[in-house]
Structure 1
Amino acid sequence: MRKMKKLTSLLLVLVMSLALAIPCFAAEPEQKVIRLEIGESYTEPETGITYSLKPWAGYSDAEQAAIMSGRSLPTPRAGGRHYFSRGVDLNTTKDYTARYTAVSSFGNTFAADIDTSPTKLNAPSGDWCVTVALHSLDTGYGCEGIIPIGEKATFEVTYPHGGISGTVTMSLSRSPKLWVWYDVYQYES
């Protein structure tokens, strides 16, 4: 009888251990990431969110001079834009991530203007792009854009059914060195 109790408890421990181990073998949730090049857009069929990577004229000569001298650019609300970051001069050897809190009353489009011209001046031969990613919007969706070195682009996320709210993460990456100027803002389109 005593051996039977030990065997039963051993089997019970084994069953419990296996039951706890099964979730660790579960598949990771599928990452929904879309990759765009300048001039492309994608609309997510489930949510209606549109991601687009558009050509951008870039900063004016006066704005470039202000950025290079470390002066702040004005952040007007003209045109209904609410700036989170304006005229940022990012020069780093590491990938960069910034988090923003989108507010629905600021509009249905979240955008980042990115100028890779500074990188072109310092790029070793063979380097060709900066990767920018906008993720989350509390939906689990994300999008990556490929901006060739020396190009300027606007990366937009538009929600057609109302204002965008929640956390938006912008990531910029390039190896070995990343040097860009950027603005991040939200507006009603």
Structure 2
Amino acid sequence: MLQALFFSYIYAISIREKPPVKGFPSQTIARKYRASLLQRTCFINQNLGYFMMHNVAYCVNGKRPLTPIACMALLTLFMAACKKNNDTGVTLKLMNRWSLVQINDTTYVPNTAPAFSKYDGAGDDYLDFRKDGKLYSSVMKALDTAQYIYSEANLKLNVRDFQYKIVYLTDNSMVLWDPHFSSGSTTYISHKVTLRR
């Protein structure tokens, strides 16, 4: 901005009619002196502009200038760094009161078709995971309390004989899945619990 003001001032001086400059015999010579000063200033300005313009990084693959691409990359990184991190850990998401949406059981017996059973949760069915390691639940009007153990690293949740894998977990929904063989048989059972908050 200072450079623009300086050159505007030089230009204004060169075109205005002024009394002769000391040391010059006439106004015509003074005007020529000012004009040559303006030409030299413009030449310096052009060279400075050329220098600044041509010392910017050249095109990448001959397509686009590197400077806008670099600026966009830095802007993207800056925006990503400033974004608020709303991702809460497994512990904070898990330890809540969850409404039961559905329980799906699929039983696989050798040489027979799979058997499906489904229970849609009623409005008062819930599973409440507490911080003290206890699970309070109400399913089909039956109240129950059980101990639970979970692994945040492996996304596993053990409640009594069920060894659930936490398949899906957000702030508002969770899916637990326990595939296992029935004890002492070749029957395979897939037990899936869908919860929401």
Normalising by the smaller structure, the TM-score range is under 0.3
**TM-score for both structures, normalised by structure 1:** 0.27
**TM-score for both structures, normalised by structure 2:** 0.27
Greater fraction of residues in strand: 1
Q: Give 1 or 2 for the bigger CA radius of gyration.
A: 2
The higher-RCO structure (CA 8 Å, 6+ apart) is 1
